[in-house]
Amino acid sequence: MIKSLNAALRDGDAIRGIIRGSSVVQDGRTPGITMPSCEAQISMIEKVYAQAKLNPRDTAYVEAHGE
């Protein structure tokens, strides 16, 4: 189940991970939303990490699609 961090702490839930940022990208030049261009995906990933104030080197797992 996904819930806010405050609610999980309040309810005493086991916390397996914290989502600090997410995004979707489609540049309109590829066949579908699950196939963004490499350039568009790189740009989006850099933007999300900057907004979340995270270093990509500290990330153990990423779910992404690409061509």
Q: What is the 3-state secondary structure (H, E, C) of 28-58?
A: CCCCCCCCCCHHHHHHHHHHHHHHHCCCHHH
pLDDT of residue 12: 97
Answer yes or no: is pLDDT of 4 > 60.
Answer: yes
> What pLDDT sits at residue 60?
85
Count Cβ atoms below 10 Å from residue 41 Cβ, excluding itself. 19
pTM of the full structure: 0.67
All structural domains of the chain with their residue ranges: 21-67
Arithmetic mean of pLDDT, 37-56: 90
Q: Name all contacts of 53-61 with Cβ < 8 Å and 24+ positions apart.
A: 54/20, 54/21
